[in-house]
Structure 1
Amino acid sequence: MTDASDVTDASGVKCTHCGATDLEPGFVEDTGEHARGYARWIPGPLERGLFGGAKRMGKPRRQIDAYRCPRCGHLELFATAYV
């Protein structure tokens, strides 16, 4: 099993769906208003604020590294470095 904190490239990352080892690195895009261009992972269940948006203030965020399997298309996601 791969330790998510050590994931920086596709070496050692294996598809949990079909077992392929030649995964393609990428990221999950976020194009919403005021977005930085990439999605982030926030711990805990989704809590909605007064206007329906997610409550995020003061919560730590981690970068999401994504790896796509060229054989079956499955995505492996890892919450890595704090951002």
Structure 2
Amino acid sequence: MKVKKIPQRMCIGCQTMKAKKELIRVVKSPEGEIKIDLTGKASGRGAYICRDIECLEKAIKAKRFERAFETKISEDIYEKLREELSNGQ
């Protein structure tokens, strides 16, 4: 029986490779809107973050989301991410 390959993505906070299902995807849509994509299927440029508040804070401090999306990220997006991480734990 063939073993199914598990998609791997890199967390932009801690820079480690993890299974795609373990990470939260943040997406920049073709219209330029940045939002949290819990399905992992929304169209646009995606960046992945662990379900760990420390990784999120590290990514915010180093401006890794802004670098990944090549745009300024508003504070309310970061607040939504913080809420999502605190609800998940």
Scaled by the length of structure 1, the TM-score of the pair is: 0.26
| Between structures 1 and 2, the one with greater helix share | 2
Scaled by the length of structure 2, the TM-score of the pair is: 0.25
| Between structures 1 and 2, the one with greater strand share | 1
Greater Rg, structure 1 or structure 2?
A: 1
